[in-house]
Amino acid sequence: MSWNSADRLIDVFGAQLDPETIATVMDIQDRMRAIMESYTTFPDLLGVPDGELRPNRRGESSLPLRRALEKAAAEDVCVILDKSADLFEHVNRMERTRPAA
């Protein structure tokens, strides 16, 4: 699932999804969007090697900010993976309990 496909997923399958599943999909989407927004907002920090990182406007190293952004993105990725695994487990449980057609 990409961050921009969650809306489509909910549009197409929303009536068949329970509120907990919809909330999980939306949380995954929000975390993906946060990661993308960081990279879009700070391409000069997150898109260059450490050796090419320029100082900030005060002449200080930009590395602490970069590390904080990387840590936040890593935490978001962990949540995305956990929630995705939960979502897959939920779908598998639904499949196993669905009456045969």
Residue 87 in domain: yes
What's this model's pTM, rounded to 2 decimal places? Answer: 0.77
- Percent of the chain at pLDDT > 90 equals 48
End-to-end CA distance of the chain: 28
Residue 1 in domain: no
Give the model's confidence band at 2: pLDDT under 50 very low, under 70 low, under 90 confident, else very high: low
Tokens of 47: 């898109």
The closest alpha carbon to 69, from 92, 42, 50, 89, belongs to 42
More confident of the two residues 8 and 46: 46
Tokens of 1: 């699932």
Number of domains in the chain: 1
pLDDT value at 87 more than 80? yes
Is residue 40 classed exposed, middle or buried when 0-12, 13-18 and 19+ CB atoms within 10 A define those classes?
A: exposed
d(CA 26, CA 11): 12
Residue 77 in domain: yes
Which domain covers residue 46, as residue numbers? 6-97
Task: Encode pLDDT of 25-58 as tens digits.
Answer: 889 999 999 999 999 998 888 888 988 999 989 9
Q: Give the lowest-confidence range in 5-14, 17-26, 32-41, 81-90.
A: 5-14
8 Å CB contact between 66 and 43: no
d(CA 83, CA 89): 10
